[in-house]
Amino acid sequence: MQKTKKVVSVLIAALFMVSMLAACSKGNDKNAGATSTPLQTVSNESATPEEALNPEDKFKDPMEISIGYWEIGSAFQQPDKDELLQFLQKKFNITMKPRQVGWADYMEKYKVWAASGELPDISSINIANDNRALYNSWTSQGVVRTLPDDLSQYPNLSKGLESADVQAMKTNGKFYMYPRLTYPTPDVWQGDRAILVRKDWMDKLGISDPKSFDDFSKMLKSFAEKDPDGNNKQDTVGLESHSISHLTYLAISTLPQFASTSWLLEDGKWIPPYASKQFPEVLKQLRQLVTDNAIDKDFAILKGNEALEKFAQGRAGAFSYAVSPLNLKILADAWDKYNPDKKFTDTVKVLPLWPAADGNVYHFSVTTPWSESYFSKNVDDKKMDRILSLYDYLVSPEGQILTTYGIEGKDYTKDGDTFVITRPKDEKTNQPLALAASYPSLAVLGTLVTWGQEKSYLDNEINKVNFGADNLKFAIAEYDYLTKNTKSIDQNFAVNAISTPAKDGLSYNVGDDVIKIMLSKEDPTKMWQDLIKGYNTKGLAEAITELNAKVAELGIK
């Protein structure tokens, strides 16, 4: 799961320049947004750089702030020519010093810097959930400092710490980092998992929406064997899956916590989902996809976007993927390459899930952050205040306008509540040039505090340009449907966040083992029993014992 969240975040970072595209002409964001999306639209209270400069004396002393962030070197190559960067540096009387890390080497670089006492003032890294041993080392040995207990001076920033899953990230009652939220609450993740299906194929074969996993597998088998594309060849498959975590999403109606990788309470004991007595049923269902010829026989070896391309090419009837605006744009762009005469949103739909045993239909939800900002032990209180003031501004309504629309009078003007984009347009597309083309620092500053993907669900002109009007409408409609008709997975974030030596040391790969069981001809229940025995020798039993003792000690219910 964490690997997939990283992939989402890499996509966000890589496509941030695209997300900075502005509206074609006028975009009134005040009235935009999906009604059930827990988002706030961007405030209309903007300011020119001259008006927004902070007059307070607390910023009178100049200060350097070093920042470690993925590919910050390229974003800060010409800081003197980046007017937005200069505005922020002048506003807070700071000079931002980039410390380059790449997606391939960032973990090792931070380890070396930490060992030598040379961490940047701000380090962007994912260790609170993904590398608990390193997190425990940094926090217990004083490598990083804590956030102040009182964050009332930073009201916009403090809002990001309110949700239960974020509160569970405290250590000894304190935050040793600021979590970089993908979405403001776990439920907004619901669009990041979905089963997309060819509704034209369903219509041709007379197939109704499945009411059970058996129905689902039969539908996929029909896609593979009944020539749904009408070319008189058996060259289609039932299901493709974007990744192993998208494949495990298929278990959400059987064992919801397996889809969210959340510990669950069973027979009075907290256990990981793969240790549940319900897990053999999950394995039987996934095996059924193979035995029914319902899934691409090459599913286990597909890489990158190969599964996506196969679905876009019309070689598969269903695709376990996502329906966020960003993901839909990626898929629809691929679809349009191969299907110029078939409109994506007219041909593909989201398959409604069938109820679980308790009668509920669940949607995908996980912890909100991926990655965190850590602050070096060498950052004193005065510099910490300056950093937190910058962070608070970047997530404030005014800061969001700056990183979304640019500088008033240069990149846009205001006509009442309407933002009028004034920057030059691309000659080929006739769309406004990417904001990050003028301000490369946005590749860092736009996501330094939060990934902010909830804004992609706002029904405004910028998002229509970024993702396509039809894709955005599709995503918002599905989000509203899920909000009204499905339930969040039961999760105890405080339990999930518990750190114990044995739990932190678990290192086996459940996803790989699930694939092995799917492809085997042996009894899946027997294979699961043997698997758990092996996991127990690798620390699982000890981890369960330690965690439950900690739950009792903390009085978690």
3-state secondary structure 67-129: EEEECHHHHCCCHHHCHHHHHHHHHHCEEEEEEEECCCCHHHHHHHHHHCCCCCCEEEECCCC
Q: What is the pLDDT of residue 498?
A: 95
Instruction: Delineate the domains of the chain, giving CATH numbers in brackets.
Output: 57-185+369-457 (3.40.190.10), 194-364+509-523 (3.40.190.10)
Q: Give Cβ neighbours of residue 381 (< 8 Å, ≥ 6 apart).
A: 148
- pLDDT tens digit string along 53-112? 555 578 999 999 999 999 999 999 999 999 999 999 999 999 999 999 999 999 999 999
Q: What is the pLDDT of residue 223?
A: 98
Q: What is the pLDDT of residue 38?
A: 41
- Alpha-carbon distance of 157 to 49, in angstroms, equals 22
Q: Give Cβ neighbours of residue 332 (< 8 Å, ≥ 6 apart).
A: 344, 345, 468, 470, 471
Q: What is the pLDDT of residue 183?
A: 95
Q: What is the pLDDT of residue 515?
A: 97
Q: What is the pLDDT of residue 4?
A: 54
- Alpha-carbon distance of 458 to 403, in angstroms, equals 16
**Do the Cβ atoms of 531 and 282 come closer than 8 Å?**
no
Q: CA-CA-CA-CA torsion for 376, 145, 494, 191, nearest 10 degrees?
A: -40
Low-confidence residues of the chain: pLDDT under 50: 17-51
Can you give the C-alpha Rg of the chain in angstroms? 25
Kind and range of the H or E element at 271? strand 269-271
DSSP state of 361: -
Q: What is the pLDDT of residue 19?
A: 41
Q: What is the pLDDT of residue 209?
A: 98
Whole-prediction pTM: 0.88
Question: Percent helix, strand and coil across the chain, each rounded to 5?
Answer: 45, 15, 40
Indicate the residue type of 503.
K
**Do the Cβ atoms of 240 and 510 come closer than 8 Å?**
no
Q: What is the pLDDT of residue 26?
A: 33
**Do the Cβ atoms of 407 and 50 come closer than 8 Å?**
no
**Do the Cβ atoms of 352 and 115 come closer than 8 Å?**
no
